[in-house]
């Protein structure tokens, strides 16, 4: 049976990590390895992983003595996995029991595919609050696949899909930048088509680090100012990735590559979102003052009319 690899990067989330790991070890496709990369956790993660390794020979535990940051932790896993097909899983997410089996079937059903994922289910506790965007990116032109993806991507469930190990490695490394998961998926789409299956799911908790831009930039060690203009920053990173940094895009002729870089960056730019992130902290601070609620409500009304959908006071 084909060996599949699942890599879980983790840091100080022992209880949630247990759920994620158990969901992998309970898969209907039993020929798998689970590789856990621990960023020097100080909670019970080491003890949990020792327990998992003793109980199941399919588990490998990698531990760093220092916290290398989440990006480095993902990249360690991309190189450490040994299965013919591989994926990563966040330590606070978990898979339906047939996730790997169905994703592998989807890849084998069409040799042109480089990436297959299940439908993402977003949960707040036990309550499903939303479903992820189902992508079907079957266009034979890789540039069209990339642009279609950038037009519709939001929560990016495709990042947690199954790929061939070597294809996944070729799309990397994961950059330590905002939108790094988008860049990796764009690289995978240069290698082949992608599909979202409605027959299985990955379960994801809402409110993680990636949902809070100030916290995300701090975690990645990036300038705080990037959280105020995130789409501008991501557009620039995408432009640079396609035009000169990313290996998957070097198959394109220079003119086609430049055209894709420009078109992709324009897809990512969102002045409404950046205007919100830039102005909302000031409006929120005024809204917290005595008598400021009316000002906050007026601000929300204006931004909604302009297309913004955020409605909470930023931290």
Residues 120-141 pLDDT 10s: 999 988 888 888 888 999 999 9
Using DSSP, state whether 243 is helix, strand or coil: helix
Q: What is the pTM of this model?
A: 0.89
Which parts of 96-206 are beta strand (E)?
113-124, 127-131, 136-137, 163-164, 193-205
What is the crossing angle of helices 254-268 and 142-152, to 10°?
Answer: 10
> How far is it, in rounded angstroms, from Cα 97 to Cα 28?
6
Between CA 16 and CA 60, with CA 156 as vertex, the angle to 5 degrees is 40
The helix-helix angle for 45-55 and 14-25 (nearest 10°) equals 20
CA 159 to mean position of chain CA atoms: 5
Beta bridge partners, 10, equal 38
Q: What is the arrangement of strands in the sheet containing 163-164, beginning at the earlier edge strand?
A: 59-63, 32-38, 4-10, 85-88, 163-164
Residue 107 has pLDDT above 90, yes or no: yes
CATH 3.40.50.300 for domain 1-92 = no
- 13-32 confidence digits (pLDDT tens): 999 999 999 999 999 999 99
Q: How far is CA 223 from CA 149, 183, 202, 233, in A?
A: 27, 19, 32, 11
Q: What is the pLDDT of residue 279?
A: 79
Distance CA 103, CA 83 (A): 14
Whole-angstrom Cα distance, residue 281 to residue 275?
A: 11
Q: What is the pLDDT of residues 167-222, one digit of tens each?
A: 999 999 999 999 999 999 999 999 999 999 999 999 998 865 555 788 899 999 99
Most confident by average pLDDT, 159-163, 224-228, 283-287: 159-163
pLDDT at 315: 39
- β-bridge partners, 163: 86
Q: Residue ranges of the domains in the chain? A: 1-92, 271-305
* CB crowding 205-243: b at 16 or more within 10 Å, else e: beeeeeeebeebbeebebeeebbbbbbbbbbbbbbbbbb
173 upstream amide cis, omega within 30 of 0:
yes
């Amino acid at each position: 049976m084909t060996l599949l690899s699942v890599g879980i990067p983790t840091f100080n989330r022992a209880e949630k990590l247990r759920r994620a790991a158990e969901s992998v070890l309970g898969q209907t496709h039993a020929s798998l390895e689970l590789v856990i990369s621990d960023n020097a956790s100080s909670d019970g993660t080491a003890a949990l992983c020792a327990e998992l390794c003793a109980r199941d020979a399919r588990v490998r535990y990698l531990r760093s003595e220092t916290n290398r940051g989440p990006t480095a932790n993902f990249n360690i896993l991309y190189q450490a996995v040994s299965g013919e097909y591989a994926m990563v899983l966040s330590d606070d997410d978990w898979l339906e029991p047939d996730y790997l089996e169905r994703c592998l079937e989807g890849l084998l059903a069409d040799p042109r595919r480089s990436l297959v994922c299940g439908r993402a289910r977003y949960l707040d506790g036990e309550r499903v609050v939303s479903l992820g965007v189902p992508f079907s990116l079957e266009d034979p032109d890789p540039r069209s696949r990339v642009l279609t993806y950038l037009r519709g991507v939001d929560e990016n469930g495709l990042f947690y899909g199954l790929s061939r190990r070597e294809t996944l490695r070729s799309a990397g490394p994961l950059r330590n930048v905002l939108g790094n998961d988008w860049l990796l998926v764009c690289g995978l789409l240069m290698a082949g088509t992608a599909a979202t299956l409605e027959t299985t799911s990955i379960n994801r908790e809402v409110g993680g680090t990636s949902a809070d831009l100030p916290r995300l930039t701090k975690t990645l060690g990036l300038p705080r100012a990037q959280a105020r203009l995130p789409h501008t920053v991501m557009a620039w990173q995408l432009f640079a990735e396609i035009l000169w940094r990313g290996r998957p895009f070097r198959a394109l002729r220079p003119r086609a590559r430049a055209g894709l870089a420009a078109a992709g960056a324009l897809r990512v730019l969102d002045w409404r979102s950046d205007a919100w992130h830039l102005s909302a902290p000031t409006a929120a601070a005024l809204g917290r003052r005595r008598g400021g609620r009316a000002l906050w409500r007026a601000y929300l009304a204006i931004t909604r009319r302009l297309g913004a959908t955020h409605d909470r006071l930023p931290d």
